[in-house]
Every structure is written in C-alpha cells, then in structure tokens.
Amino acid sequence: MKHGQLATKELAEFVRESAAIEETYSKSMSKLAKIASNGSPQGTFAPMWDVFRVSSDKLALCHLELMRKMNDLIRDFNKYGDEQVKIHRKTKEEMVGTVEAVQAVQVQNGHLQKSKEGYHAKCFELDRLRKEGAPQKELEKAELKSKKAAESFAVCIEKYNRVGGEFEQKMSESSQKFQEIEETHLRQMKQLIKGYSHSIEDTHVQVGQVHEEFKQNVENIGIDNLIQKFAEQKGTGQDKPGTARLTRRSLVFLFPVGGK
Amino acid sequence: MKHGQLATKELAEFVRESAAIEETYSKSMSKLAKIASNGSPQGTFAPMWDVFRVSSDKLALCHLELMRKMNDLIRDFNKYGDEQVKIHRKTKEEMVGTVEAVQAVQVQNGHLQKSKEGYHAKCFELDRLRKEGAPQKELEKAELKSKKAAESFAVCIEKYNRVGGEFEQKMSESSQKFQEIEETHLRQMKQLIKGYSHSIEDTHVQVGQVHEEFKQNVENIGIDNLIQKFAEQKGTGQDKPGTARLTRRSLVFLFPVGGK
C-alpha cells in the first residue's frame, strides 16, 4: 500500500514535469511569434511574416492549454492521493485481527521449535543411556521425560495447527482485501493516465490543424499576390497580375539614385 | 533587393530559433524519461514506468530529429543567401545604364523647370511693359527676349521628352528584371518554407505514432497482469489470474509485523 501512495506521488510528479515542459514550449512559441512580428515590414516577403506569427501564436495557445489540462490532472492526482491515505488508514484498522494472527503463529512457531528440540534432546538422552546400559531406574526416568516431552510436542503441534488455521483464514481474507485495494488503485491510476493521454492527443490534433492551416496560408499567398501588394504599398497601381504598370514617379522611388 | 536579403536572413533566424526550441524540448523529454526510469521499482505500478520511459525517450528522439532537419534547412538558407548576394551584385552592374538614364532625366527635369520659369518671367515682363504703355523699342526688345525664351523652353521640352523616353525604356526593362528577381526570390523562399513545413509535419506524424503506441501499451498492461507480476516478484505463484494462491511464507512477507 505504501508503494501505491508512492506511485501516485511519482506519477503526479511526472505530470507536473510534463506541464512545466509544455509551459516552456508555449513561452518559446510566443517568443517565436514575436520574432515573426518583428520581421521587416518592407520588401515583397513582408506579408508572409503574418502567417508565421499567427501560426506560432496558435501553437503557443495549444501548448498553454495542454499545460492547464495537466495542472487540472495534478489536482485529480492530489485528490486521489488523499483518498488513498484514508482508505489505507481504514484498511490498517481492519487488519488488526490479521496482525494478531500473524503474531500468534509466530509465537506458536517459536514454541513448536523449542518443544521439538526438547523432545529430540530427551529421545537422544534415552538412547544414549540405553546404549551405555544404564540402570533400569535411570532408564525409566528418562523414558518418562521423553514421553512427557512427546506429549508436550503433540500439544504444541495441535496448537500450532489451530493458530495456523486461523492465520490462513485471516490471511486469505486480508490478501483478498489487499488484492481488491491494488486493483482499485491500478484502475484509478490507469484512469488518470487515460486523462493524461487524452489531453496530449487533443493537443496533438489541434497542433496538426495549426500546421495544416499554416501550409494552406503559405500556399494561398501567391507570388503574384506578394508582388502586387508590394507595388501597391509603393504607390504603384497594377493592371493585371504579373506585369507591373509603373509610373515615372514610382519608378524613381523604386530606384533611388542620389539627388531629389 | 536589400529587403530580399534581409528577409532571407530573418527567416533563417526564425528557423534557427525553432531549432533551438526543438532542442530544448528534446532535452526536456529526455529528462522526463529519466524521471520515469527513476520511478519506484516496487509495488504493482512499477512495470508501467517503462511505458512512460520508452514513450518519453522516443519523443525526445523525434524532436531531436526535427532540430537536425531544421539545422540542415539553415544551411540551405545560408547557401541561398550567398547566391542572392551574387545575383544582386550582377544585377547592379547590369543596371548602370538605368542609373544614368535616371540621372539624365533628373538633370533634364531641372533644366526644364528653369527654362519654364525663365519663359514665364519674360512673358510677364512683356505683359507689364504693354500695360504700362512702354516705348515701342522697349516692347520689341522684350518680345524678342520672350520669343527666345519660348524657343529655349521648346528645346528643353523636346530634350526632356527624349531623355524621358529613354528613361521609360530603361526603367521598363529594369523593373521587368526586378520583378523577375523578386519572383525568383519569393519562389525560393516558399520552397524553403515548404521544407520547414514538411519537416514539422513528418515529426508531427511520428509524435502521433508515439502517442498511439503509448496508449496501446498502457491498455495492453492489464491490471490482473500487474498484480500477477507483483506476486511473482514477491516469490508467490499464481494459478489463475485474479486470485492469488498465497503460501504462508509469502503472506508473512507481504505482511511484515515486527520480529523475525
């Protein structure tokens, strides 16, 4: 469960970093739009700068919106993180019985080991006395001890099995509960990732549209058109595209060589 | 033509800034991949980090490639800029005749104005003498002066028209030449913009594929799958998806409560 909380925090951190990257990119695009708007207003190319400026400005907006969506998502992450803490606290309380069962089986396991060792020691002692041909009285005493140790060992086994049964029961319930918690957690995480993924996808589509628009705008501004605009700007009329009708005055303007 | 050279430089600068933005974005994506690869390797969510890492790494590559393509484009810009300078130098040499014609028409225009003013002054003087009833001798002298001024003015007009005709001829040729230069320039600029646009489009398609892959990878890693992987990692076998078969040993591992 601790790992679950950590994963939520780490993924939120990942999204936070993504949002920061998008913010930086958006700012860079605004800067690029500024460069375009500072493009020289003179010469035949001048009207093209507007196409670059508009496109860069739109891209800046797309990435700013993505940043905003990611920030909204981080709020969802934080909300889920808080819920997660509550759920985990509640689960911990519900698990008290299981904790006790674990402790009981651990204690009982200790007893069982000791009892087994005691029994084995008694058996070994009895065996040794028999091999040495000890007096009957001593053998009887050792036999009694061994018998008692066997009984005590049997009681321990029985108790261990009982405690172990409870442990298995509690553990099965708890692990079921843990599994449910993990499933819910992963479902929630995948839902949040889906939100992240959708936001990125939406922006990707928008960015594609801006690129398409840019391409169209560049194509739409014909070379004839640019030359005509330039001629008009210089005070020169134009009768038909492709051939400039230049007056003496405007020609001098186009071709300034000293003097007045 | 100066504006043309400036436009080439400015657009190259714009693309250079774009390339720098893509480089920064690429580096940020690599950083994001690093964050993903530093995601906790424990817990059920752990395998998901790899999906984030792979995706971020691929995005970093996409934007790095775009940066490279833009840098190639800047080389094309520089190459074109050099050609442009050569063409303009050559054109300037070819325009010497036009420069002379412009200067001639300007000089002749000055003469024409002076001559016109002189003629008007003489006419005014003659008119004044007539009104004042000046002596016949004085009137004849003034009439002669006015006639000479009229002849001189007529010569000036004729000369101006001839020089002006040459001027118009030269100017028509030059403006045709300028128009051709501008058309070639704009065609070249549009070609370079097309290269820029294509590179961005290619990257956009690649980025879309990376997003699609990411989405698929997230979907493909099922929740059951993540839980099973986690259980396996913890040394727990699993018979069928969705239900963990937990051994006593592994349960204690999953549920550590003090002591050994």
Please give the structure tokens belonging to residue B136.
């016949």
Lowest-pLDDT choice from A77-86, A88-97, A229-238: A229-238
Half-sphere exposure of B54 (CA within 13 A, CB side): 15
- The residue assigned the tokens 């398409």 is A212
What is the reported pLDDT for B178? Answer: 85
Q: Do B14 and A24 touch (CB under 8 A)?
A: no
Mean pLDDT computed over B105-113: 92
Residue B78 has pLDDT above 90, yes or no: yes
pLDDT in tens, A143-171: 999 999 999 999 999 999 999 998 888 88
Task: Name the residue facing A52 among B14, B28, B168 (closest C-beta).
Answer: B14
For the segment B174-188, what is each residue's pLDDT rounded down to a tens digit?
Answer: 888 888 888 999 999
The predicted pLDDT at position A252 comes to 38
Write out chain A residues lying below 8 Å of B243, CB-based: 179
pLDDT of residue A257: 39
pLDDT over threshold 80, residue A251: no
Alpha-carbon torsion, ordered B109, B112, B114, B118, to 10 deg? -170
Read off the tokens for B34.
Answer: 């690093």
A138 vs A118, A132, A134, A142, CA distance in Å? 18, 11, 7, 6
Q: Quick check: helix, strand or coil at residue A240?
A: strand
Phi, then psi, of A240 in degrees rounded to 5: -135, 150
Structure confidence at residue B235 (pLDDT): 63
State the pLDDT at residue A48: 94
What's the pLDDT at B239? 43
For residues B99-106, give the mean pLDDT: 89
Q: Say if the Cβ atoms of B45 and A18 lie within 8 Å.
A: no
Q: Which residue in the set B28, B208, B218 is minimally distant from A21, CB to CB?
A: B28
Distance from CA of B171 to the nearest CA of A (A): 7
Q: Is the pLDDT of residue A14 over 90?
A: yes
Averaged pLDDT of chain B: 87
Cβ distance A204 to B200 less than 8 Å, yes or no, reads no
Maximal CA-CA distance, chain B:
146
> Do B57 and B36 touch, CB atoms closer than 8 A?
no
Chosen for mutation from B44, B180, B228 (greatest number of chain A CBs closer than 10 Å) is B44
Q: Rounded to a whole number, what is the distance in Å from the CA of A257 to chain B's nearest CA?
A: 7
Whether the per-residue pLDDT at B32 is higher than 70: the answer is yes
Cβ atoms B67, B22 nearer than 8 A: yes
Token digits of residue B199: 């590179």
Quote the DSSP letter at residue A222: -
**Ramachandran sector of residue B43 (left: φ over 0; alpha: ψ -120 to 50; beta: rest):** left
Q: Is the pTM of this model over 0.95?
A: no
Q: Which tokens go with B248? A: 């006593």
Residue B198: closest CA among chain A residues belongs to which residue? A215
Give the residue extent of every domain in chain B.
1-94+191-230, 97-173
Contact B217, B51 (CB under 8 A): yes
> Residue A99, Cβ neighbours under 10 Å: how many?
15
Cα-based torsion angle of the residue sequence B142, B143, B145, B150 in order, rounded to the nearest 10 degrees: 140
User: Of the ranges A17-21, A38-42, A84-88, B148-152, which is most confident?
Assistant: A17-21
Per residue in B202-240, pLDDT (tens digit) is 999 999 999 999 999 999 998 888 888 888 877 654 444
B247 has a pLDDT exceeding 60? no
Question: Which site among A100, A170, A179 would you substitute to test the B interface, given the most B Cβ atoms closer than 10 Å to its Cβ?
Answer: A179
Q: Which of B32, B168, B254 sits opposite A248 (nearest CB)?
A: B168
Q: Of B53, B118, B255, B166, which is closest to residue A181 (Cα–Cα)?
A: B255
Mean pLDDT, chain A, whole residue set? 87
Q: Cβ A248–B171 below 8 Å, yes or no?
A: yes
- Which of B165 and B249 is assigned the larger pLDDT? B165
Among A27, A171, A172, pick the best mutation site for testing chain B contact (most B Cβ within 10 A): A171
DSSP letter string over chain B?
Answer: -HHHHHHHHHHHHHHHHHHHHHHHHHHHHHHHHHHHHTS-SSSTTTTHHHHHHHHHHHHHHHHHHHHHHHHHHHHHHHHHHHHHHHHHHHHHHHTHHHHHHHHHHHHHHHHHHHHHHHHHHHHHHHHHHHHHT--HHHHHHHHHHHHHHHHHHHHHHHHHHHHHHHHHHHHHHHHHHHHHHHHHHHHHHHHHHHHHHHHHHHHHHHHHHHHHHHHHHHHHS-HHHHHHHHHHHTT---SBTTB----HHHHHHHS--S--
pLDDT > 90: what percent of chain A? 63
CB atoms within 10 A of CB A125: 14
Instruction: Tell me what the mean pLDDT of segment B150-170 comes to.
Output: 91
Classify domain A1-94+191-230 by CATH architecture: Up-down Bundle (1.20)
Measured in angstroms, the CA of B133 and the nearest CA of chain A are apart by: 43
> Which of A101, A104, A149 is CA-nearest to residue A122?
A149
Q: State the pLDDT at residue A44.
A: 87
Buried b (16+ CB within 10 A) or exposed e, A208-240: bebbeebbeebeebebbebbbebbeeeebebee
Segment A212-250, tens digit of pLDDT: 999 999 999 988 888 888 888 776 544 444 433 444 443
Contact present, B199 and A214 (Cβ < 8 Å): no
